[in-house]
Amino acid sequence: MNNVWVKMAEFLGRLNGESVSRESYVRTPEYEKSLEKWKEKEQEWEKLLEIFPTEQKEKLEEIKECQEDFASAQELRAYIQGYVDCIQVMYHMGVLKESKGLKWAEKADD
């Protein structure tokens, strides 16, 4: 992977994790609806866990945590990909120029 994209991912990852209460933070209607649905299902999840023995409960919690980590990684990847796509659009429009030491991802294998 191109080192520039790794550094950009690290920077954007920190930016993405910052204040979600800032005015420019995007919360789509789909997100709000999904969040509300999850809040309802989370209560059902907690009640459901009560019927399982400790060992099975721990395994189910481990699976849930793994799924949450994966969803978070997907969200971060999509967030960073949006920035990368924006930068590439600006490059192809001529707004940004390629510098001597920087190669775009599609050119990195040259």
* Mean pLDDT across 26-44: 91
Q: Please determine, for residue 80, whether its predicted confidence score (pLDDT) is greater than 70.
A: yes
What pTM, to 2 d.p., does this model score?
Answer: 0.64
Q: Flag whether pLDDT at 16 surpasses 80.
A: no
**Among 10, 8, 3, residue whose Cα is nearest residue 85:** 8
% the chain with pLDDT above 90: 39
Give the residue extent of every domain in the chain: 31-107
pLDDT, averaged across the chain: 82
Q: Which of these, 36, 43, 44, 45, lies nearest to 65 by C-alpha position? A: 45
